[in-house]
Amino acid sequence: MDKANALVAEIKRGNPRPIYLLFGEEPYYIDKISQFIADNVLDADQRDFNQMVIYGKDSSIEEVISQAKRYPMMAERQVLILKEAQHLHRTIDQLLPYAENPQPTTVLVLCYKYLKVDKRKKFFKAIEKNGMVFESPRMYEDRVGAWIGKLMAGKQYRITPKSCAILVEYLGNDLSRIENEMDKLIQFVPPGSEITPELIEKHIGISKEYNNFELKKALGERDVKKAARIIEYFAQNPKDNPLVVTIAQLQTFFSQLLQYHGLADHSKGNVAKALKINPFFVQEYVIAAKNYPMKRVSGIISSLRILDLRSKGVGANRLSQADLLKELLIALV
């Protein structure tokens, strides 16, 4: 993100802004940037008296302004980080007078997570003018694989597309959790190594063979025996393999397959772009399209919707996950 890089570069040059508004639905970058400010604006021996973290649920805008107007002690600046600022969303507009004339010796950081800020508000425009606004939008799962690749490259590692897909399937778009798991893994792997499904299974505990990614592949190839083995594993380990996740993953897969059938251009690049997938996986859709004509795919999507409702007890007696998984396999093959 260009704006994040510009923010970091300014601070490294010793030119922090007097006020930052970090907001958005994705908390990962808000946490990273606020921590970078905490670690780099002041020297370690200045932080005891000149750096403070307060929380929105325990504070008021008046208290924030009062602390922000305080002068630093034996330092050029003080840093004030307001975490969970979203708890003050009803009174955040009261920050306007301070945002219009911020204390030059204070670096005030507002961490406003999960909610959007009305960009038409005067206080927002005042912070844009006198400080810096950074928006951290939610990252959708189709972009997380590429993000993992960049994350690992920054840590001096390579990671296979299949490994990325397994992580996204298991961890979703929780960027902080993904990074935490990868940080644990690389403690056992030398820099420059490639992160493979085998390493993920060994150090994170995600099975490289029994997961939704492999189930989709087996179904696409109409490998009934392999799909049945995975379904049986899911039935025996329901807590680690919730049915709702499996159905959602399969709905996405067959919806993309339906989209593939509708494409006029089946070139690798166009398919990857249209389906929002890594080009590495395009061949799986080519194979699946041969095994599942468009009409069959439409029927499968309908069956998955019905099965999803049945799994939630709608329209039928509630069945066990094992029984529903068996019905799933019958419906798909």
List pLDDT tens digits, range 105-118: 999 999 999 988 88
268, 169: one domain: no
Question: For 30-47, how does the pLDDT look when each residue is reduced to its tens digit (9 = 90+)?
Answer: 999 999 999 999 999 999
Instruction: Point out the domain boundary residue: 135, 167, 183.
Output: 135
Does residue 83 carry a pLDDT above 60?
Answer: yes
Instruction: Point out the domain boundary residue: 203, 236, 254.
Output: 203
41, 106: one domain: yes
- pLDDT given at position 5: 84
195, 306: one domain: no
Confidence class for position 306, pLDDT limits 50, 70, 90: confident
130, 146: one domain: no
Does residue 316 carry a pLDDT above 60?
Answer: no
d(CA 106, CA 43): 15
CATH number for 250: 1.20.272.10
**Residues 5-15, mean pLDDT to the nearest whole number:** 90
Residue 157 corresponds to which tokens in the numbers above? 């590692």
82, 8: one domain: yes
| Span of 79-93, 158-172, 182-196 with lowest mean pLDDT | 158-172
- pLDDT given at position 322: 81
Helix (H, G, I), strand (E, B) or coil at 324: helix
CATH number for 123: 3.40.50.300
Does residue 315 carry a pLDDT above 90?
Answer: no
Question: For 230-262, how does the pLDDT look when each residue is reduced to its tens digit (9 = 90+)?
Answer: 999 998 988 888 888 899 999 999 999 999 999
Q: What range defines the domain where residue 179 resides?
A: 141-203
Question: For 174-225, how does the pLDDT look when each residue is reduced to its tens digit (9 = 90+)?
Answer: 999 999 999 999 999 999 999 999 999 999 988 888 999 899 999 999 999 9
- pLDDT given at position 1: 60
Q: CB–CB of 195/189 below 8 Å?
A: yes
- pLDDT given at position 309: 85
199, 225: one domain: no
187, 266: one domain: no
Separation of CA 311 from chain center: 27
Residue 109 β-bridge partners: 20, 81
- pLDDT given at position 263: 95
d(CA 14, CA 290): 59
| Of 257 and 3, more confident | 257
116, 28: one domain: yes
Does residue 155 carry a pLDDT above 90?
Answer: yes
Q: Which of 35, 123, 100, 109 is nearest to 78 (CA)?
A: 109
Q: Which residues contact 242 (CB under 8 A, 6 or more apart)?
A: none
**Residues 125-144, mean pLDDT to the nearest whole number:** 92
Does residue 317 carry a pLDDT above 70?
Answer: no
- pLDDT given at position 257: 96
Does residue 49 carry a pLDDT above 60?
Answer: yes
Instruction: Point out the domain boundary residue: 80, 113, 135.
Output: 135
82 residue type, one letter = L
Residue 39 corresponds to which tokens in the numbers above? 């670690």
6, 68: one domain: yes
CATH number for 146: 1.10.8.60
Q: CB–CB of 328/247 below 8 Å?
A: yes
Count up the domains in the chain and report the number.
3
Question: For 14-34, how does the pLDDT look when each residue is reduced to its tens digit (9 = 90+)?
Answer: 999 999 999 999 999 999 999
Confidence class for position 265, pLDDT limits 50, 70, 90: very high
Of the chain, the percentage scoring pLDDT greater than 90 comes to: 74
Does residue 287 carry a pLDDT above 80?
Answer: yes
d(CA 202, CA 191): 17
Residue 112 corresponds to which tokens in the numbers above? 């406003």
**Residues 68-83, mean pLDDT to the nearest whole number:** 95
168, 269: one domain: no
d(CA 105, CA 39): 17
End-to-end CA distance of the chain: 43
76, 163: one domain: no
- pLDDT given at position 140: 85
Q: CB–CB of 90/59 below 8 Å?
A: no
121, 244: one domain: no
Confidence class for position 323, pLDDT limits 50, 70, 90: confident
Of the chain, the percentage scoring pLDDT greater than 70 comes to: 98
d(CA 132, CA 3): 9
- pLDDT given at position 6: 86
Give the side-chain half-sphere CA count within 13 A for 152: 28
